[in-house]
Structure 1
Amino acid sequence: MRIKSKLLAIYIPILLIGMTLTGYWAYLTAYDSVREREYQLLTQTLTLNVLEIIDERHKLLIESGLENVPVFRKAYQEEVFEELKSLQQATERHFAISERSTNTVIFSTAENAFELNVTNANKTIIANRRVAFGESNVNDTDVLFACSEFTPWNWKVTALQPAEPLQSSLFTIAWLTSLVTLFAVIIVSLLMGKVTQVFVVSPIEKIKTAASRIAIEHKKVSIDLQQTDELGSLARDVEVMSGEIEQFVAQAQQANRAKTDFLAVMSHEIRTPLNGIQGLATLLLDTPLSDKQHRYASDLKSSASILATVINDVLDLSKIESGMTEVDVTEFDLDAMLADLITLLGTNASANSTRLIYKSKNMKSVAVTSDITKLRQIIINLVSNAIKFTHKGTVSISAKLKQPSTEAIGDNRLVIAVKDTGIGIEPERIEHIFDKFTQSDSSITRKYGGTGLGLSIAKQLAQLLGGDIKVVSKVGEGSCFTVTADVQSRCMVEWSANSDPARQAERASLPEGIKVLLAEDNAINAIVAQALLEQLKCDVEHVDNGLKAAARVEEGGIDVVFMDVHMPVMDGIEATKRIRKLEGELSNIPVIGLTAEAFKERHISFKQAGMDDIVTKPVTVEALQESLLKLARDQKISNNS
């Protein structure tokens, strides 16, 4: 309900009650005034007309000296009666005369005899005469009466008038009072509504509109409000606040950019030597070693992999919190992806004496549309955790779609459950298990390792996909993590393995003897990258900066360039731009960027500078092979190289 409607809903009842009470008071006042007037007229008629007539006849009788003569007294009294009959016709009031002592009626203009109850009558003195007046019921009819005495003749004189005209007049007053009250309520309501609109509602709407703009645009606003009251003061405060918000947002954006730049630099600085460690460990394992040396080299590679995981977790969390993570939707065979993932993780499970079990429901020959990278990261995290905390047990992974898929693509709900028979989670720690840097027990970090970021990242990724992660656990019996995500699915009539680009890439044959120019300033990373490329049967030539790389490409004979982004003398971005400015076919030489920066936005900027693909450090032979295969599929390099 709008504020104007709320105010009117409050005002109108208050006005109605106030006006009703006022009208009722006016009605009572009018009622008393009319009654008083009628009593005044009735008593005046009695005293100034009736009693004056009687007194006049009595004086004439005394002056003539005939007061004690019954015949003349009766004659004068008859004249009084005739006068009263005429007065009754003129005033429509009835008059009666009775013996004061016996209450016997002597004369009456009313057709029927009546008796008055004057017990509660009001008494007053008018023209030196005592008068009693009030309201009574005579023959089931309400009447107004006034009584007085005429002592010389021992009379009780009464004047009557029906109460019906008075009641009719009061009824009219009541209706008029009600109409005036209702009219007043309507007029006052309209006026209050207008005043409220101008002085309250309109300023509030302006402030509300300004607040909405602040929430959306985070910019300074100006509110066209000249009032000097509390709302005007609030508008000024909102304007000042909007300026501060604009300033704070600008500072936050600047800080966020600085944070991103810092993470990009730190990512590069950490990943660069880490690339050398992992690469050299991989190369070392391919050489003849004693068992002890092989174990040392394996531990070295494992330690480097753990360090890489920690770095990736921190970078992933930073990207999510800064809003830089986007959903990259593609269509893929989810069942095949999960099956391959379980196979890949099976090595870790075997090392921990853990058995992996995978089963799916209504996902056979179904194409799912979602972010395959984020789904894979979530599942790897959950399954790896389950394996880590389950020694000599079982980890079961089940996946299903809520609705059966049809040939037409439609919305669906994916549910993946990862259940283990591991150590479980204490009840009081379950609610915090998805908090950053949190594990179920501080001893877990010492015993099993990890940053406590994995589950937090997995949950946030699931929420990015329109779902969530829930957990049920019992200490000593294991845990069950359930992932949900919004996806689209369709049933593939013939799902060929060859239709999956990833599988097709795995089976594609990489051309041999590709002439590769490796531009890398770090000597160790250069050795690693060159050795890995030579494993792919590439002919590798190395330079240590971008200027040399551009000059070598200009000489010709190069099929593809692996270009490190950060190098002295000339960096990889500038070198790529210089290559793109060369004449002829040399400007189309494929350039693959090598970088330790993990942010997708940075990768996009590298491609905008002219690079064809990006390989993120630490470099693996699989990543190099995939990038070369991509160029081969796009016919940028060929078997004739």
Structure 2
Amino acid sequence: MRIKSKLLVIYIPILLLGMALTGYWAYLTAYESVKEREYKLLTQTLTLSVLKMIEERRELLIDTGLENEPVFTNAYQNEVFEELKLLNQTTGRHFSVSNQGTGDIVFSTLSESAVPDTDDAQKSTIAGLLVAFGESYSNNQRVLFACAKFEPWQWKVTVIQPANALQSSLSKIAWMTALVILFAVATVSLIMGRVTQVLVLSPIEKIKSAASRIAKEHKAVDIALEQDDELGELARDVELMSGKIEQYVAQAQQANKAKTDFLAVMSHEIRTPLNGIQGLATLLLDTPLSDKQHRYATDLRASATILANVINDVLDLSKIESGMSEVDVTEFDLDSMLSDLITLLGTNASANNTSLSYKSKQLSSVLVTSDITKLRQIVINLVSNAIKFSHKGSVTVTAKLKKPSTAATAENNLVISVKDTGIGIEPERLNHIFDKFTQSDSSITRKYGGTGLGLSIAKQLAQLLGGDIKVVSTVGEGSCFTVTAVVQTRTVPEALPSGSENNVSGLKHIPDGLRVLLAEDNAINAVVAQALLEQLNCEVEHVDNGLKAATRVEEGGIDVVFMDVHMLSHGWY
């Protein structure tokens, strides 16, 4: 729900409640005002009209000297009653006359004669007369009344006003009040909505839009919000923050470029001497050695290999995180690639007393388009881990496509599973198994070795290929890692072209006496490379920079040139 809608949902009930309470108060005030007016009219009618008329009739009777004659007294009283009937017809008010002593009704314009209960009535002196007035019930009907005594004739005269007319007037007031309330609520809601839009929502939208631009572009923004309030201060803080972010992003990009350059240099500078150590250890093992010397040389080569794996993991992870790792798409036979990997890794499995097997589904005569190097690295990392943690157990690699391939190239989903019968992973550690420098238990690093980077690298490589890696595991029973990747596939005829096997085998043959120019600026690596090439019956000539290599090639007599890409900086263009 938008902020404006939320505010209206809050504002409108509050306004309705406030207006309703105000309207109810106004209604009660109007009701009391109308009652006071009616009381005033009733008392004035009683004192100035009715009692005055009765007093005039009595004085007329006295003036004629007939006040002691009951016949004439009754006649004058009947004249009063006739006047009261006329007043009833002209004013709509009712009149009642009762005997003070007995309470009997002497006269009444009501169809059912009854005198209102005056016990709780208010009393006031008007024109020298004590008058009682108030609200009561007469014949089950709510009425307003005013009454006074006429002592000469022992009368109690009461003027009665039915409350229906009063209620009708108040109903009109109530309806008018309700209409005014609704109109006021609608008007105030529109005004508050507009004010909220101008003073709150529009500035928030500007700040939100600026924040979105900052998140996408990482550049300074100008919100242009001229308000001297909290939102104006927030806008200026966001502008200041965006400038800092732009500055920090520029610094981060420079630092990332420096890191990238550093990685490129370190990748070469670290691997170069390490390759020399491995090469010299290999050459040393090919010379006559005593058993003790052979063991030392073997351990030296094994240590160098372990160190190379650690360095490769760190450099590969840094390359991925710096964005230098790109997807190099090629078409290849995935089934053959996996079979070769299983054969290659079978030696490690045998050394660990672990059986390694491979099964495939829907991969026969299928060519896959993806990054073969990254897929190979993922499988090697997972299978190597499985072998390491499955001593005297088994590791099974399976591969399949989600849907059958056709002759036309189409997108498909590749699924590779690596299942082992090893030590398994604790449930609480499964969520962190792909974190960098993390293994399921610190004791595993001491017992099995490793950097804890293999799974992290494999997962990030799988994500680069449009997939992911999931794992299920049971402690003591083993684990199953499932790799997914988005690939392109197509089918090809099963039969290989005629002569293809001969061509492949021909590529593996190196003719004797091949003249090789070795361009290598590292003396140790030059010794190793020259010795390995000479073992292949090559005639090797060594130069130590690219310029010399270019000159020597121009002189002729060279069949193959082996050189490092970094030799470009030494004159090879």
Equivalences for 1:100-499 in 2 at 5 Å? Answer: 100-283=100-283, 297-402=297-402, 413-425=413-425, 430=430, 432-464=432-464, 465-474=466-475, 477-488=476-487, 490=489, 492=491, 494=493
The superposition leaves residues 295-320 of structure 1 with CA deviations (integer Å, 9 ceiling, x where unpaired) of 55544443332222111100112123
In 2, the alpha carbon distance for the partners of 1:358 and 1:238 equals 58
Cα separation, 2, equivalents of 1:173 and 1:114: 31
Q: Which of 340-349 and 526-535 deviates more?
A: 526-535
Q: Secondary structure at the match of 2:548?
A: helix
Report Cα offsets for 1:199-237 as digits up to 9, x if no partner: 111111111111111111111222211111111111121
- Check the 8 A contact 1:413/1:484 in 2, yes or no: no
Question: Relative to 1, partners in 2 of residues 1:66 and 1:375: Cα closer, same or farther, differing over 3 Å?
Answer: same
The verdict on how the C-alpha distance between 1:561 and 1:29 changes in structure 2, with shifts beyond 3 A counting, is farther
TM-score by length of 2: 0.88
Identity among equivalent positions (%) equals 71
Q: How far has the Cα of 1:244 moved from its partner?
A: 1.8
Residues 196-205 or 445-454, more deviating: 445-454
Contact residue 95 and residue 108 of structure 1 kept, 8 A: yes
Q: Which residue of 2 aligns with 1:592?
A: none
Q: Post-superposition shift, 1:187?
A: 0.8
**Correspondences of 1:514-553 after superposition (within 5 Å):** 517-530=517-530, 532=532, 541-553=541-553
Q: Does 1:572 align with 2:571?
A: no
Give secondary structure in 2 for the equivalent of 1:439.
coil
Which residues of structure 2 form unaligned runs of 5+? none
- Counterpart of 1:349 in 2: which secondary structure? helix
What residue identity is the alignment partner of 2:18?
A: G
Q: Unpaired runs of 5+ in structure 1?
A: 578-641
CA RMSD of aligned residues (A): 3.4
Give the partner amino acid of 2:386. A
CA change 1:353–1:478 in 2 (3 A) is same
Structure 1-normalised TM-score? 0.79
Deviates more, 1:281-290 or 1:32-41: 281-290
Q: Retained in 2: the 8 A contact 1:97–1:107?
A: yes
- Counterpart contact for 1:369–1:487, Cα < 8 Å: no
Distance 1:358 1:169, change over 3 A: same
Deviation at 1:400, TM superposition (A): 3.7
SS in 1 for 2:221: coil
Structure 1 residue 9 displacement after superposition: 1.2
The 1:507/1:106 distance shift into structure 2, 3 A limit, reads farther
Contact map agreement 1:423 1:478 (CA 8 A) in 2: yes
Give the secondary-structure state (helix, strand or coil) at the position aligned to 2:358.
strand
Tell me if structure 1 keeps the 8 A contact 2:545–2:570: no
Conserved? CA contact 1:145–1:161, under 8 Å: yes
Give the Cα separation in 1 of the matches to 2:311 and 2:441. Answer: 22
Which amino acid is the alignment partner of residue 472 of structure 1? S
Distance 2:382 2:162 in 1: 99
- 1:581 alignment partner in structure 2: none
CA distance in 1, matches of 2:258, 2:414: 38
Contact 1:418 1:482 in 2 (8 A): yes
Counterparts in 2 of 1:62 and 1:573: CA distance versus 1, 3 Å: farther
Secondary structure class of the residue paired with 2:42:
helix
Tell me if structure 2 keeps the 8 A contact 1:357–1:396: yes
Distance 2:468 2:276 in 1: 38
Secondary structure at the counterpart of residue 60 of structure 1? helix
- Measure, in 1, the Cα distance between the counterparts of 2:72 and 2:48: 24
Q: Deviations over 1:171-215 (max 9, x none)?
A: 111111111111111111111111111111111111111111111
Q: Compared with structure 1, are the counterparts of its residues 89 and 399 closer, same or farther at alpha carbon in structure 2 (3 Å cutoff)?
A: same
Report the secondary structure of 1:451's partner residue: coil
Equivalent position SS for 1:320 = helix
The Cα of 1:394 is off from its aligned counterpart by 1.8
Question: Residue type of the partner of 1:468?
Answer: I
- Give, as a single letter, the amino acid of the residue that structure 2 aligns with 1:466: G
Change (3 A) 1:449 1:143: closer
SS of the residue aligned with 1:102? coil
- Number of matched residues? 570
Distance, in Å, in 1 between the alignment partners of 2:533 and 2:18 is 93
Secondary structure (helix, strand or coil) at the match of 2:399 reads strand
